[in-house]
Amino acid sequence: MGEFKDKAAGVGNDLAGKAKEGIGRATDNPELVAEGEAQQLKGDAQKLKGDVKGAFGDKI
């Protein structure tokens, strides 16, 4: 069950990061672009964690 929570959180962070990055680029705000990129990486890591948990049956 935890795998789905991690994957959902990862997707949420990925989408929020893409939005921040897009707004940052549109407003010429490099700080917001960087924040968005970092949030996308966090989302990717969370999705990977969910995949690993799924492969090991939530035993990690």
For residue range 2-50, what is the model confidence (pLDDT) as tens digits?
788 989 999 999 999 999 999 999 999 999 999 999 999 999 999 999 8
Q: How many CB atoms lie within 10 A of CB 41?
A: 13
Query: pTM of this prediction?
Result: 0.82
Q: Where are the domains of the chain?
A: 2-55
Residue 9 · residue 51 · CB < 8 Å: no
> What pLDDT, on the 0 to 100 scale, is given for residue 57?
72
Q: How many CB atoms lie within 10 A of CB 9?
A: 16
